[in-house]
Amino acid sequence: MDVKIILADDHKIVLDGLRSLLESQTGMEVIGEAIDGYKAIELVRELSPDVVIIDVALPMLNGIETTRQILAENPGIKILALSMYSDIRFAVEMFKAGAAGYLPKDCAFKELAFAIKTVLANKIYLSPNMTEKIVKDFINNSKDTNSVFSVLTAKERQVLQLMAEGKTRNQIAMALFISEKTVETHHRNITNKLGIRSIAGLTKYAVREGLTCL
């Protein structure tokens, strides 16, 4: 039986390239493509894949939060992060969210194919290019108390991402199925926790922390 794969990336050329490469392999089938986090969650619910290959920097809902939500509903799915970020914080947060593997986007396709087979065997895969960085970071600073993932709640991170992506209060409320008043409360909590008052400042922070890829 073919391995059923969903791809999640906001760049069409990446989706097309990955689909072509994966479907050239015997036993692999791409059954869906998503360009944002919410669409990825919907496709997983509809199509029940074996593997989701996901970009960390997805619009609407970033790859870390998307991974958390997918695995909360479908713990048996294997999620592989494929990211342009070389900062090891993102790899750490993806693994904390439950991802089974993490690779840089500049990896060879042979490595990606091997990673898929590895996670399907219920093993963790970390690109060799990242291993040394992860170990050194763990030794030097095992706790990052300033990370957005430790400072803000999951809902606050979602609100911050959407704010940074230029969504209005009403649009955020509709996307998250909450009231505008609740959005305002989250906004206030975010600014109080971060000490950042301007939208420009919050946007810069969100980009730096990997919540969005503007």
pLDDT in tens, 162-181: 999 999 999 999 999 999 99
Given this model, what pLDDT does residue 3 score?
96
Domain ranges of the chain: 3-140, 148-208
Mean pLDDT computed over 75-83:
95
Bridge pairing between strands 3-8 and 51-54: parallel
Q: Is the pLDDT of residue 92 over 90?
A: no
pTM of the full structure:
0.77
Identical fold at 3-140 and 148-208? no
Is domain 3-140 in CATH 3.40.50.2300, yes or no? yes
Average pLDDT over residues 105-131: 92
Over range 7-22, report the average pLDDT: 94
> Order of strands across the sheet with 51-54?
28-34, 3-8, 51-54, 78-83, 101-104, 125-126
Q: Poorest-confidence range of 106-120, 141-155, 181-195?
A: 141-155
Q: Which whole number is the average pLDDT over 21-49?
A: 96
Q: Do 180 and 170 touch, CB atoms closer than 8 A?
A: yes
Least Cα distance to 93 among 140, 130, 147 occurs for 147
Residue 49: C-alpha distances to residues 3, 30, 53, 138, 155 (Å)? 8, 9, 10, 33, 26
Q: Does domain 148-208 have CATH number 1.10.10.10?
A: yes
pLDDT tens per residue across span 123-159: 999 988 777 776 776 666 555 556 788 899 999 999 9
pLDDT of res. 212 = 86
